[in-house]
Amino acid sequence: MKVSKFILVVALTAAFFGCKNQKKETTENKEAVNQSAMIKAKSENVEIEGAVGTLKAVLQTPAMEEGQKYPIVILMHGIFSNKETPLVTHLADGLQKKGIASIRFDFNGHGESDGKFIDMTVPLEVEDAKAVFNYANQLDFVSGISLMGHSQGGVVASLLAGELGDQVTRLALFAPAAVMEDLIEEGKMMGKTFDPQNPPEYIEVNNEKVGRAYLESTSKLDIYERAEKFQGPVLIVQGKADQVVPYQYAETYDERYQNSELHLLEDVDHVFTNATEKAAGIGLEFLAKLK
């Protein structure tokens, strides 16, 4: 009888520890599967066919589970600039940490992208931005697309949002250069003058040749009329010490939109030299609501 009891105890003990080990192995297996299903945050170079050739871009994605969907923001730089400006990269890095993807690119004639600067126009940049939008829209993980633009890139972003309407989730504008339309109409651009009725082949600005096509088309953009068609949430950030674009143009944007918020920063210039983190922080708070 004692032998039988002993055998029973041994059997029960083995069964108990066997179940415990099996449970431990199952938990470990699940953890291994979860880890293998996680995709690390990354940044990769991509190429997109734009209005006049290949656009060089950087796609930055957050850490995520396989099959997970999340929003993306298209980041657009200003004239005489490129995709690696401090404001743009600050936003890209900040969005990634918040679980939001971004794609930044060089417009045609800028940075690493194809095209000649002298042939660049705002309408062509809108076409570039639309090509990037279409690229982002076909990515499997994208749940929604928002736009961000600085200076001339802000104008481009506002025009594209006005055109696409509710296909755009949110719009963030940093010192949007709507002043360009008025200045070009008066025959002025960054200290240079020309006859607006008979524009020259080009004018030299910032060691670049701004072509006749740009001068002829910019005065006919109807920026506010086209931009105000966007009914979604809009953020406008501008420095009150901006010597390139008077902050009153940001106020006009704010007046024309139905659902906007305006942040005017004291003692801050056009490129947010002394306030990059502050401006980016305001943008990130606004765009974080995408999640």
The larger pLDDT score, comparing residue 73 to residue 18, is at 73
Which residue in 61, 65, 70, 64 sits closest to 96, CA to CA? Answer: 61
For residue 2, what pLDDT is reported? 44
Reported as type and span, the H/E element at residue 57 is strand 54-61
Mean pLDDT of 114-127: 98
121 phi and psi, to 5 degrees?
-140, 160
152-164 vs 122-137: helix crossing angle, rounded to 10: 60
The phi and psi torsions of 33 (rounded to 5 degrees) equal: -65, -45
Binned at pLDDT 50, 70 and 90, residue 286 comes out as very high
- The CA distance from 288 to 27, in Å, is 34
Distance between terminal CA atoms of the chain? 67
Contact between 128 and 55 under an 8 Å Cβ cutoff? The reply is: yes
Considering the chain, what is the average pLDDT of its residues? Answer: 91
Is the pLDDT at 10 greater than 80? The verdict is no
- List, for residues 189-246, the tens digit of each pLDDT value: 999 999 999 999 999 999 999 999 999 999 999 999 999 999 999 999 999 999 999 9
Asked if pLDDT for residue 12 goes beyond 70, the answer is no
Query: pLDDT tens-digit profile of 95-111?
Result: 999 999 999 999 999 99
Provide the pLDDT for residue 3: 44
Q: How confident is the model at residue 90 (pLDDT cuts 50, 70, 90)?
A: very high
- Give the list of residues 6+ apart from residue 129 with CB closer than 8 angstroms, or none: 74, 76, 147, 156, 157, 160
- By percentage, how much of the chain surpasses pLDDT 90? 84
**Amino acid 42: pLDDT:** 92
C-beta separation of 176 from 253 below 8 A? yes
**pLDDT above 80 (res 118):** yes
Q: Cβ distance 206 to 141 under 8 Å?
A: no
Question: Average pLDDT, stretch 268-280?
Answer: 97
Question: Average pLDDT of 110-127?
Answer: 98
Q: What is the pLDDT of residues 44-89, one digit of tens each?
A: 999 999 999 999 999 999 998 988 999 999 999 999 999 999 999 9
Lowest mean pLDDT among 31-45, 155-169, 198-212: 31-45
| The pLDDT of residue 1 | 46
Cite the DSSP H helix spans in the chain.
2-37, 86-97, 122-137, 152-164, 179-185, 212-218, 223-227, 248-256, 276-287
